[in-house]
Amino acid sequence: MESSAGYTIVLATKAQIELEDSWLWYEERERGLGDKFVDETLKILTTLTAFPEVHSIKNKQYREAIVPKFPFVVVYRIVKVKKLIEVVSVFHTSRNPKRK
């Protein structure tokens, strides 16, 4: 995913698995809810391509963007020289924060 600002989103394997697992979990509870979760997450990713530094650094080099309506944060870092946003986790906020 690339923006006019030139930043590209790259999802780590861990983040992809978390996104897929969470989609499945929500879909099993209510059809279409998983799609709503993914839509909200994609909105965040789109915003990050345009405004990658909108969130402050939380832990070393990582930033966190809250997913609206769902108890998740997108954990990412910016690699300015490559114009990349690396998403390392789509993290459920009830989990142990050390696992981010």
Q: Which CATH superfamily is domain 8-94 in?
A: RelE-like (3.30.2310.20)
Domain boundaries, the chain: 8-94
The 10 Å Cβ neighbour count of residue 11 is: 20
Count other C-beta atoms under 10 Å from residue 26's C-beta: 18
Q: What is the pLDDT, as a whole number, of residue 2?
A: 45
Per-residue pLDDT of the chain (100 residues; tens, 9 = 90+): 544 457 999 999 999 999 999 999 999 999 999 999 999 999 999 999 999 999 999 888 999 999 999 999 999 999 999 999 999 999 999 876 666 5
The angle, 0 to 180 degrees and rounded to 10, between the axes of the packed helices 33-50 and 13-29 is: 150
Taking the chain, what is the end-to-end CA distance rounded to the nearest angstrom? 23
Q: Give the three-state DSSP class for 43.
A: helix
pLDDT at position 97: 64
